[in-house]
Structure 1
Amino acid sequence: MKENNLGDSLESLRGLINISIDIVKEDLITHHDSPLNLASSRRHPLRDRYDEKVAQALKRISSAGVMLRALCDPEAWIHDIMFNFSDLTALFVTCQADVANLLNNQALDATAIAEKTGIEADKISRHLRALCNMHIFREVAPNVYENNELSLLFQSESRRALVGLCAEESRLASCQMWEALNRPDFRDTEAVNKAAFNIAYETDLNIFQYWEQVRPDLGKRGACAFAGKGLNEAQYLALYPWAEEPDHTLVVDVGGGVGGATLPIVSKFQNLTLLVQDLPENKEKFWAFLKKDYPRVLESNRASFQAQNFFEVNTTKNAPIYFLRHVLHDWPDAEATKLLKNLAAVMSARSKILICEHIVLPTYRSNSAPDDTEPEPFIAPEPLLPNWGASFTSRLDLHVLSCINSKQRTEDDFKNLAARAGLTVAFMWRNVGDEVIVECRLH
C-alpha cells in the first residue's frame, strides 16, 4: 500500500493480525503453553522468554489494536483520551491501598476490601471496576474482585511507587505545562529549575533537589520507582550481545541507584562483573537489594558499589563498559553533555559507553527507499504508523519535559550530544522493544 493510496485499512489490519496471531499460537504450541488469557492469575511463560519473530508479531497485534480502536469509533477514542486521567487515579488509589497484595490468590467482595483498607466499599468498588474495564483485576461476581495477570504486576513495591510518581509529581507538573510554555521566564529556557514542575510546586529547586531538601518522602518513593527497571526483562537482556564480552568484563553502572538496571544483566551473564555507582546514601540500599533479590550474584562477588557523583570526573578509569540506563533523559543537553565529558575524560581507546534509552522515531513514513527493497525489521508495516505508534516514548518525553526540562532524544540528538562530549556514536543496538542501546566511543 502506498502512503497516499487510501486502501481498506480494516482489511489490511485483519491480515496483519491474523498472520501475527498464527505466529504466536505456533510458539505457544511449540513450548506446550496454555493460550494467552487475561483471566489467568499467573504470569504467562511467554513473558519470560524472547524470540524476535514472536516479539514482532505481538508488536503488530498491539499496534493494530490501537489503530482499530481509533478507526472503529473516532469519537469514543477521543473521549477515552480526554478522560483517561481517571484511569491513573483508579490505579493510584488501588496501589496506595495495596489491593493486589491484599487479594493475593483469593477473590474478595468490596465489603471485605473496605474492612482491610479503610476505604468505603462502594467507592473502592468503583475504582476497581474502572480498572477491570482495562483488564486490570477481574470482577467475578457483583462487587467481587480477584487478581489477574495484569493486576499481579502491582504487587511489586517499585511498580506501585512508579504509579505514585506518575499520579502526583508528573501529573501536577503536566497540568502547568501550558503556563510553562507561555511564561516569559520559562518558555525559552532549558534550565532544570524552570520546568512546569517548578510552577506546580512553587519552588526554585529542581525536582531532585526538591525531593532531597523538601520532600524526602517523595524522594524515597522516586528511588524505589527507579529501582524497578526490569520491564520486559527477556527483551531488554536481548538488546545487546553481553555474552560476547570477554570474561571478567567490568560494567560500570553510572547513576545506577541500587543496580536495578544491571543486576539482571550480570545475573544472567556470568562473564560480567558489576560496579554500581551512585550517591553514597544508596550504598546500604544497594547491598540490601543485592542480598534480597540477587543472592547468587552476591555469593559470586561479581557486584560492588562505589560512591560517585556523575557531574564530577569519574574515579574508575579505563573501564571496558560505562553503562547508563534512563539517566541522560533526566537531564537537558547542557547537563547531559557534562555528564558524558566526565566519562570521556577517563576512557581508554577500548572503552565504550552504552546509553540505554527510549529513542524518538518519526510518525511519518519515508519515501526514500526503493519499492523492491526488503522492509526494515524495526519499521512497522502499513497501515500502521512506521514507529508502531510509540506512545510510551512520547509520554515519557513529555514527562521529563514537565519535570526537569529534559527530553527523549532522536538518533541525531544522540550523535550531536556525543560529539559535544568528544565522543562518536559507533553503533545503535536495537530489537523490537521500546529501548535502544547507543554505543559511544572516543573520537
Structure 2
Amino acid sequence: MTFATLRALQAIIGDAIDEIYAAYASESRHHLGSPSPPPSLSSSSSSTPPPSPPKRHRSPTPPLLSLSHSNHTFSSASHYSSSNAPIPPLDRDALLDFPDLDLPGDPSSPAEQLTSRPDVANAISRIVAAGSQLAVIVRSPFLTICDATMIYHLPSCLRFFEASHIPELLSAAGPSGLSVIEISASVGVDSVKISHVLRLLATHHIIREREPDIFALNRVSALLDSGRSFTECRSAPVKKYDSEYGGVAALAALNTDELFKASAYFTDALLPSPDMNSKRTNLTVIAPTAFNLSQRTTLPYWTWLETPENGSRLARFARAMAGTEGWMGASDAELSFPFPELAEDALIVDVGGGIGSTTLRLAERFPKLRFIIQDREPVCKLGEDAWDIHSPALITSGRVRFQVHDFFKPQPMHDGDIRPAVFLLRVVCHDWPDVLARRILLQLRRAADEGTTHKKPTYLVIGDHLLPYACTSAKVSELRIQEGMEGLRGACWPLLANLGVASANAYWMDMTMQVTLGGQERTLPELRSLAESAGWRLIRVARAEGSLFAHVVAEPGPLPSGSALGTPFPSVATLAVEDGEEEIPPAIRERGATPVMDMLGAARTLLRARAGGKKGSTGDNAWVRWMQRKVYADENDARRASTGVAAEKNVPTPSQGVQGRGLLKKVSQYFGEGG
C-alpha cells in the first residue's frame, strides 16, 4: 500500500500545481484585457503604479456546528483530479508567473497578492502537506530523527543573521549579493564562521548562495529586512523594529531569543530531575515554566518583560505582535461577524490589546465604531506613543483610547455604564492555562449585556489558532461525527486532517505558549469547554483559507454555578488574600498538604504552613529555598552589584522569613496578578 500512498501524494501535488497555474493564467488574461497591463514581476520602475489587488472571494462565516460539514470536509484524492477544462497556454512573456524563490518578493505585486487568494492558498497548503509527507515516507527514519533533533541550530543561526543586521546589508547590495569577506568587514565576525551560518540557512532555502561564499536575499529572507540602513540598525538596533517593515524581523528576533531558550527547558519543567525535588532545592510549592528555568527568574514572563533591563525586549515584543499578521489572511481586516453589523458608535473593548495593531485595522475599516484598548501600563504607554506618531487623529477625536486594566479584575465602567458591544480577545486566551483563561472570560461575562429581543447581546470574539486533530482516515463519515476532527478543506487521503506540516505554525505556537506562559492553543472541543465554563456560548467560527488562525464568536450563555473569582486556584480559594482571609483556616492547616494547579496545568502540593507561621517553618523554608536556589541568587546579586539595579521584587534575603500566610500570598500574587 505504500506505493499507492506515494502515488496519491504525487497526484495531490500535481493537481494542486495545475490549480495554481490555472489561477495565474486566468489572472494574466484579466490583466491582458485591461488598458494598462501590470509591470512584469522583475520591473523596478516606480513610475508605473501596481494594479489594484485582485478581489478576494470570501465564503460566509459558517455556523459553529456546521464547521465539520461544509467547507471543511475530508475529501478523497480523486476530488482534486484535473477535471476542469484546460486553459490554453499563454505566451511565456504574458503569463503572470508564481513568485520566484531566488528573488525578494514585492508584497504589492499581483503575483504575491494572488498567493493569498483562498483557492490558491488552499492549493499551496496541499502541496506543502503532501510534499513533506512524501519526503518522510521515502527518507531514512534515522536521517529524519537527526534532522528533528538538530533543528535547534536553525533558529540559532537565524538569530545571528537578524541580530547582525545582515538582511539590511544584503538588501543594499541587491541581487548580486555580497561575499562573506565583505559581510565580515561590516559585521565584525570571522568570515568563515559567517559562511557556515549562511550556508545552513541556504540549505533550508532561507537565503541564496549565488556563488561560492557569495550570498543574496531571496523571497524568504527578504522579509527580515527592516527597510532601514545597516548603519541605522547598528546605531539603534531596537528602533529598526519601528519601521514599516520591522514587524517580521521583531517576530524572528523574539522567537529566536528568549522563546527559543525557554524551549530547551521544557522537559526539565515537566519532568524535574530528582535532585530538583530534593530537600535542598524544594520545588513542590509551585512549578516554574520552562521560561522561568531558562532565565533563572521567578517572575512571570510579562513581569519579566517590564523590568528596566528588559525594556528593549518589551518594545520588540510589541512590534512582533504586528508582525504576526501573516497568520491571519485577508479576512482578518474585519475579523468577520459581528463587526459589520454593529450600530453606529458601538463600543469595542480590545482586552489585552497590546499597542493596538488589531484596533487600528478595525478603526480604519469601520469608521463609525469606538474603541478602548486595555493592557498593562507600560504597554499602554508604548501604544500611546506609537499612535501619536502614526494615527494621532483617532486618539484626539476620542474614537480610540487606551485604558490601563488588569483583565483578571472586574471590567471598569465604560461611558456611563454602557456595556460594550464586543469584547475582543486576540491572542490572549492562548497565553494562559484553562484555570486562568476561565478567570479572564468570567470577568468579561459578568460585564456583558445578555441582550433582549430588540437588543443585541455583548459578543465575545476570541482570536487564536484553532487546532484540528492530526488524524488520517479515508472515511468521511468517521470524521464528521467527531468534533475537533473537522479537518481543513482539501485534506484528502492520505493527508493528515490538519494538513500536516502545512499547518505546523499553529502547533509551534502551541508549544511556545506552553514553555513561556503555561498556556496553549486549543482544539475546538477544548475552546468550547473553556468558554462554556465561563458562561459563553460559541456561535460562529471563521478562519482564512490556508490558516489555522480562527476568530471564534460567542454570546452570553448561562453563568455556571460556583464561578467565584477570588483566586485562580479553586483548591485554595479560601486561602486567597484578596478574598479577605486574615489567616490560614484551621481546616486547611490540619489537612497538611493542599493540592494546587500550577501554570502548566499539573497538580502540585502546597506544603503545610505551621500554626503561627513562625520563621523557619516548613512552608517558609520551602518557598525561600525555591526562590533562592544558589544559581539564581548568585546571578541576582551579581547583576545588582554590577548595575546598581535593585534585586527583583519579592525575592526574600536570607535574613528575611516568610510567614506561613505570606507564602500563600506569594503564590496568589505569582499567578493571579501576572495579567
Q: Distance in 1 between matches of 2:4 and 2:478?
A: 20
1:79 to 140, 146, 153: 146
Are 2:103 and 1:40 equivalent residues in the alignment? yes
Q: Distance in 2 between matches of 1:191 and 1:55?
A: 48
1:267 to 352, 364, 380: 364
Are 2:449 and 1:348 equivalent residues in the alignment? yes
1:97 to 164, 173, 177: 164
Q: Once the 2 structures are TM-superposed, how far is the Cα of residue 257 of structure 1 from its aligned partner?
A: 0.8
Q: Once the 2 structures are TM-superposed, how far is the Cα of residue 384 of structure 1 from its aligned partner?
A: 0.7
Are 2:532 and 1:419 equivalent residues in the alignment? yes
Q: Distance in 1 between matches of 2:214 and 2:549?
A: 38
- 2:464 is aligned to 357
Are 2:319 and 1:224 equivalent residues in the alignment? yes
- 1:147 is aligned to 217
Contact 1:239–1:436 (8 Å) recurs in 2? no
C-alpha spacing 1:235/1:132, structure 2 compared with 1 (3 Å): farther
Contact 2:540–2:553 (8 Å) recurs in 1? yes
Are 2:406 and 1:312 equivalent residues in the alignment? no
The farther-off stretch of 328-337 and 291-300 is 291-300
Q: Secondary structure at the match of 1:104?
A: helix
Contact 1:361–1:410 (8 Å) recurs in 2? yes
Q: Distance in 2 between matches of 1:418 and 1:190?
A: 30
Q: Once the 2 structures are TM-superposed, how far is the Cα of residue 406 of structure 1 from its aligned partner?
A: 1.5
Q: Secondary structure at the match of 1:229?
A: helix
2:13 to 17, 42, 66: 17
Contact 1:379–1:387 (8 Å) recurs in 2? no
- 1:204 is aligned to 298
Q: Distance in 2 between matches of 1:12 and 1:295?
A: 55
The letter of the residue matching 1:320 is: A
The letter of the residue matching 2:139 is: D
The letter of the residue matching 2:378 is: E
Q: Once the 2 structures are TM-superposed, how far is the Cα of residue 295 of structure 1 from its aligned partner?
A: 7.2
Gaps of 5+ in 2: 29-95, 227-240, 242-246, 278-282, 451-456, 481-485, 558-675
1:395 to 508, 511, 514: 508
Q: How many residues align?
A: 436
TM-score (normalised: structure 2): 0.59
Contact 1:192–1:405 (8 Å) recurs in 2? no
Q: Secondary structure at the match of 2:538?
A: strand
Q: Distance in 2 between matches of 1:21 and 1:299?
A: 50
Contact 2:99–2:112 (8 Å) recurs in 1? no
The farther-off stretch of 240-249 and 317-326 is 240-249
Q: Once the 2 structures are TM-superposed, how far is the Cα of residue 87 of structure 1 from its aligned partner?
A: 0.9
The letter of the residue matching 2:495 is: L
Q: Once the 2 structures are TM-superposed, how far is the Cα of residue 314 of structure 1 from its aligned partner?
A: 1.8
Contact 2:466–2:524 (8 Å) recurs in 1? yes
Contact 1:192–1:206 (8 Å) recurs in 2? no
Map 1:286-325; keep pairs closer than 5 Å: 286-290=383-387, 292-293=389-390, 302-315=399-412, 316=414, 317-325=418-426
- 2:194 is aligned to 124
Gaps of 5+ in 1: none
Contact 1:239–1:431 (8 Å) recurs in 2? no
1:171-204 Cα offsets, whole Å, 9 max, x none, are: 3222222222223889xx9998621222222322
Are 2:444 and 1:378 equivalent residues in the alignment? no
Q: Once the 2 structures are TM-superposed, how far is the Cα of residue 220 of structure 1 from its aligned partner?
A: 3.4
The letter of the residue matching 2:217 is: N
Q: Once the 2 structures are TM-superposed, how far is the Cα of residue 356 of structure 1 from its aligned partner?
A: 0.6
- 1:410 is aligned to 523
Larger Rg belongs to: 2
Percent identity at matched positions?
A: 25
C-alpha spacing 1:293/1:7, structure 2 compared with 1 (3 Å): farther
Q: Distance in 1 between matches of 2:518 and 2:381?
A: 31
Q: Once the 2 structures are TM-superposed, how far is the Cα of residue 292 of structure 1 from its aligned partner?
A: 4.9
C-alpha spacing 1:278/1:111, structure 2 compared with 1 (3 Å): same
- 1:440 is aligned to 554
Contact 2:469–2:487 (8 Å) recurs in 1? no
- 1:68 is aligned to 134
